[in-house]
């Protein structure tokens, strides 16, 4: 069989095993995985020598916000720059969130996101559809038919017009159950949050505490109460629930307990919750680190790593990439008052460049998890839970040739000017990380070669998905 590309001599890692093998690629797919030396190349075959390298399925970041209008500005990594950062970090598929306004339809959201992404991305992409009004719930089947089986609701963000209340959440979960779909949920308790913010939102408090108020107004129970309530609605309706960006140890406990009762609840965490703690808000530039939910304590970090070790309590690592430049983050500054208003900081962090490197360095190298668990958390579970496992998340004949090669002997110090994100700062600046991609292939085409991003905008395609766990 003629091969277009042969990745030879590498150590291959899937979610279940690690082995030495060569990988044969024809067109966009893997056609053979065999012992070293068994696959024949021709003079036209591109050879990628992966001797001494780790070879894994391309990672899937199931939670990004590219060019999102949010907090009075637009997130700076768009469908061109976000995917470049993804590829450099070994991510070959990103899943965004298409968010309609309350008077738009789910189809409008899908069409708007199609228009803003077309022809730009070097990696494959998809989106979850956000539900922002109760009348949109009946449009769920129409979205599933178009390969969009995962939906999103936000318990907060009333000012953006995105928020759901309990009735909407309950009704959505009923529909999710009926149509065998999945609801992703931003779980923070809105009324409690409003109260805690209102108490602190005074010039005196803001002058005194600065960006620390972002954390002070979001104690752990803001997330825990919301997760607990959502679990109750999932239990009552049988609708599959997936808690996004879980940041607290309490959240992991609640998910574990609910799962042991048979409640259909899953959770993801993000890289920021695995390495950063709330001491960042005491820095002079602490406001840069504001995201929702905010990073928590060292104890939460340790509990989340344990949850990843278990492989059940937290099934996926993502980034919630929503990047803003220093200039955008400076919107919090009240020039006349001479203080920062914590309620005006654009919320979100860059993360795509560093997702795999953080899990690799802080997880695998630090001894928390194996390379197979890394693949499970960053590739296989995202594919399986988001309806992509017929094509992505594994290295086997018939799968898309989405492949990431990393050099286990390589480590570099994070510097924003050496990353692909358009943010001119990085939350992980100064950290020493391994696990950046030396080669990234998207459906057989190299988009990173020898650590350089070489992909052509428009190579990435929208990928249709199937109901989680369902058949193509």
Q: Which residues would be at the binding site for Zn ion (CB under 5 A)?
A: 186, 320
Instruction: Figure out which of the listed residues 78, 124, 320, 376 binds ligand URP, where binding follows CB under 6 A.
Output: 320
Judged by beta carbon distances under 5 to 8 A according to partner kind, the member of ligand URP, Zn ion, none in contact with residue 99 is none
> Does 348 participate in binding ligand URP (rule CB under 6 A)?
yes
Three-class secondary structure assignment of the chain:
CCCCEEEEEEEEECCCCEEEEEEEEECCEEEEEECCCCCCCCCCCEEEECCCCEEEECEEECCECCCCEECCEECCCCCCHHHHHHHHCCEEEEEEEECCCCCCCHHHHHHHHHHHHCCCCCCEEEEEEECCCHHHHHHHHHHHHCCCCEEEEECCCHHHCCECCHHHHHHHHHHHHHHCCEEEEECCCHHHHHHHHHHHCCHHHHHHHCCHHHHHCCCHHHHHHHHHHHHHHHHHHCCCEEECCCCCHHHHHHHHHHHHCCCCEEEEEECHHHHCCHHHHHCCCHHHHCCCCCCCCHHHHHHHHHHHHHCCCCCEEECCECCCCHHHHHHHEECCCCEECHHHCCCCECCHHHHHHHHHHHHHHCCCCCHHHHHHHHHHHHHHHCCCCCCCCCCCCCCECCEEEECCCCCEECCHHHCCCCCCCCCCCCCEECCCEEEEEECCEEEEECCEECCCCCCCCECCCCCCCCCC
Which is closer to Zn ion, CB of 186 or CB of 200? 186
Residue 348 binds which entry of Zn ion, ligand URP, none, with Cβ cut-offs from 5 to 8 Å by kind? ligand URP
The yes or no reply on residue 347 touching ligand URP (CB under 6 A) is yes
Q: Is 99 in the site for ligand URP (CB under 6 A)?
A: no
Q: Report the partner that residue 347 touches, choosing among ligand URP, Zn ion, none (CB closer than 5 to 8 A by kind).
A: ligand URP
User: In the bound complex, what is the minimum distance in angstroms from residue 279's beta carbon to ligand URP?
Assistant: 19
Residue 291 sits in the site that holds ligand URP (CB under 6 A): yes
Instruction: Answer with the entry of ligand URP, Zn ion, none that 300 interacts with (C-beta below 5 to 8 A by kind).
Output: none
Q: Which is nearer to Zn ion, 127 or 436 (CB)?
A: 127
Q: Looking at beta carbons only, is 322 or 383 nearer to ligand URP? A: 322
CB of 35 to Zn ion, least distance (A): 43
- CA-CA distances (angstroms) from residue 203 to 199, 243, 336, 341? 11, 34, 11, 8
**Cα–Cα dist 212/157, whole Å:** 20
Tell me the closest approach of the beta carbon of residue 468 to Zn ion, in angstroms: 19
Contacted entry of Zn ion, ligand URP, none for residue 291, CB cut-off 5 to 8 Å set by kind: ligand URP
Among 98, 266, 322, 375, interactor with ligand URP by CB under 6 A: 322
Residue whose pair of structure tokens reads 């003079």 in the numeric block: 43
Q: Closest distance between ligand URP and the C-beta of residue 245, in Å? A: 6
Cβ-based nearer residue to Zn ion, 91 or 371: 91
Q: How far is the CB of 186 from ligand URP (least distance, A)?
A: 5
Q: Which residue in 120, 128, 186, 200 binds ligand URP (CB under 6 A)?
A: 186
Regarding 317 and contact with ligand URP (CB under 6 A), the answer is no
Return the number of the residue (278 or 320) whose C-beta is nearest Zn ion.
320
Residue nearest to Zn ion (CB): 186
Rounded CA gap, 222 and 251, in Å?
A: 10
CA–CA gap between residue 387 and residue 471 (Å, rounded) = 8
Q: Which is nearer to ligand URP, 63 or 439 (CB)?
A: 63
Minimum distance of ligand URP from residue 238's CB (angstroms): 26
What does 439 interact with, of ligand URP, Zn ion, none (CB < 5 to 8 A by kind)?
none
292 contacts ligand URP (rule: CB under 6 A): yes
Residue 287, contacted partner among Zn ion, ligand URP, none, CB below 5-8 A by kind: none
Kindly state the smallest distance separating residue 290's Cβ from ligand URP, in Å. Answer: 7
Cβ neighbors of 171 (< 8 A, separation 6 or more) are 134, 137
Least Å from the CB of residue 128 to ligand URP: 11
Residue found by looking up tokens 């940041």 in the block: 247
- For ligand URP, the binding residue among 13, 65, 214, 218 (CB under 6 A) is 65
Q: Quick one: 113 or 436, whose CB is closer to ligand URP?
A: 113
63 or 391: whose CB is closer to ligand URP?
63
Q: Which residues bind ligand URP (CB under 6 A)?
A: 65, 186, 291-292, 320, 322, 347-348
């Amino acid at each position: 069989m003629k091969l277009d590309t042969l990745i030879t001599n590498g150590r291959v890692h899937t979610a279940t095993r690690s082995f030495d093998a060569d990988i044969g690629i024809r067109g966009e797919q893997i056609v053979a995985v065999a012992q070293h030396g068994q696959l024949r190349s021709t003079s036209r075959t591109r050879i990628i020598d992966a001797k001494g390298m780790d070879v894994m399925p391309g990672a899937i970041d199931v939670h990004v916000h590219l060019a999102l209008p949010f907090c009075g500005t637009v997130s700076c990594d768009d469908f061109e720059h976000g995917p470049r950062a993804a590829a450099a970090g070994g991510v070959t598929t990103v899943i965004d969130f298409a968010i309609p306004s309350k008077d738009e339809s789910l189809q409008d959201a899908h069409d708007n996101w199609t228009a803003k992404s077309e022809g730009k991305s070097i990696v494959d992409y998809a989106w979850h559809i956000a539900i922002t009004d109760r009348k949109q719930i009946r449009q769920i089947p129409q979205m599933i038919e178009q390969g969009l089986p995962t939906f999103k609701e936000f318990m907060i963000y009333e000012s953006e017009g995105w928020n759901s209340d309990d009735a909407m959440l309950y009704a959505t979960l009923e529909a999710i159950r009926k149509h065998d779909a999945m609801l992703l949920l931003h779980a923070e308790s809105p009324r409690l949050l409003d109260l805690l913010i209102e108490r602190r939102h005074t010039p005196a408090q803001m002058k005194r505490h600065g960006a620390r108020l972002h954390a002070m107004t979001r104690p752990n129970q803001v997330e825990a109460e919301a997760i607990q309530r959502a679990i109750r609605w999932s239990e009552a309706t049988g609708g599959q629930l997936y808690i996004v960006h879980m940041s607290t140890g309490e959240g992991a406990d609640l998910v574990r307990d609910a799962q042991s009762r048979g409640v259909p609840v899953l959770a993801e965490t993000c890289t920021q919750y695995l390495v950063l703690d709330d001491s960042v808000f005491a820095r002079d530039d602490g406001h840069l680190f504001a995201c929702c939910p905010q990073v928590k304590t060292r104890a939460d970090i340790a509990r989340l790593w344990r949850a990843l070790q278990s492989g059940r309590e937290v099934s996926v690592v993502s980034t919630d990439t929503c990047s803003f430049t220093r200039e955008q983050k400076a919107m919090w500054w009240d020039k006349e008052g001479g203080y920062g208003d914590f309620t005006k900081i654009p919320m979100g962090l860059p993360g795509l460049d560093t997702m795999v490197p953080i899990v690799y360095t802080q997880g695998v190298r630090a001894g928390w998890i194996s390379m197979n668990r890394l693949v499970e958390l960053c590739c296989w579970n995202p594919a399986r839970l988001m309806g992509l496992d017929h094509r992505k998340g594994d290295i086997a004949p018939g799968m898309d040739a989405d492949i990431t090669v990393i050099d286990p002997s390589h480590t570099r110090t994070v510097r924003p000017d050496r990353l692909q994100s358009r943010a001119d700062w990085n939350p992980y600046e100064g950290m020493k990380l391994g696990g950046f991609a030396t080669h990234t292939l998207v459906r057989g085409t190299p988009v990173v070669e020898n650590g350089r991003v070489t992909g052509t905008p428009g190579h990435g395609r929208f990928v249709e998905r199937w109901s989680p766990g369902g058949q193509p």
